[in-house]
Amino acid sequence: MKREDYLHAGERLDDLQLHNYFIIQNPEKFCFGMDAVLLSHFASVPKNSLVLDLGTGTGILPILLAAKTEARHLDALEIQEESVDMAKRSVELNGLKDRIRIVTGDIKEASSLFEKGTYDVIVCNPPYMENNHGLKNPELPKAIARHEILCKLEDILREASLLLKPKKSLFMVHRPHRLVEIFDKMRQSGLEPKRMCMVHPYLDKEPNMVLLEAVKDGNPMLKTDPPLVVYEAPGKYTEALLKFYGENPPH
């Protein structure tokens, strides 16, 4: 089959500029952003790891991690059927069916869908927005991806803790204004915050993203990576950002 044969109406094929991998997306629904790519670089994935992505969307994180790491196998969970369908077609298109499994299901029930205590690494790019008031249509894919409609932060942390092996890591990206809450809820779930990196749009602007690592049953000690600044001028990425992207610079 040609690559274009995998597409449905309204969809497009985006070149990830990495291992000749592509991803199927529908711009009317939801497309991955810089946060997913930065998380895929921030996450430490040892060789032969078993990895799980909670809320995979159209499968961007497992595809990037399959390209960047020597993970043995990657599972990915997504509740929206349309996104699952796109993710499965992207996995097949890239010849990754032997390494990536896309599963339909609810994050709140993840520990009943996968075997507890088996994962070496869990990654998650969760909904950031806590307040859902005023949403015109909370069933739209973009709303579900951005707002805590179908799952909340504590659901993600609880299930991640149940599914991780002891002393293994959850990697996630979130918003700095919720950092105190995130740390508190991580500890309530048996996950110890161990590492973070603040992401600033410009050097003189406050951070608008934070990359986090938490270890199941870990000892208290938080390390802070140097802050990452995205732009040195409008439309011009910093050298640090380009290095952070590795082989997959933004376009």
- Show me where the domains of the chain are located: 3-245
Check residue 221 and give its pLDDT.
95
Candidates 3.40.50.150, 2.40.33.20, 3.40.50.300, 3.40.640.10; CATH matching 3-245 = 3.40.50.150
- 182 or 150, which is more confident? 182
Structure tokens at 194: 């161990």
**In this model, does residue 175 exceed pLDDT 50?**
yes
Residue-wise pLDDT for 23-48, tens only, equals 999 988 878 888 999 999 999 999 99
Averaged over 198-203, what is the pLDDT? 95
pTM: 0.91
Check residue 105 and give its pLDDT.
95
**In this model, does residue 139 exceed pLDDT 60?**
no
How many helices and strands (H and E) does the chain possess? 8, 13
pLDDT range class, residue 148, cuts 50, 70, 90 = low
The Cα 8–Cα 162 span in angstroms is: 37
Weakest mean pLDDT among 153-157, 216-220, 245-249: 245-249
Expressed in percent and rounded to 5, the helix, strand and coil fractions of the chain are 30, 30, 40
Percent of the chain at pLDDT > 70 equals 88
**In this model, does residue 240 exceed pLDDT 60?**
yes
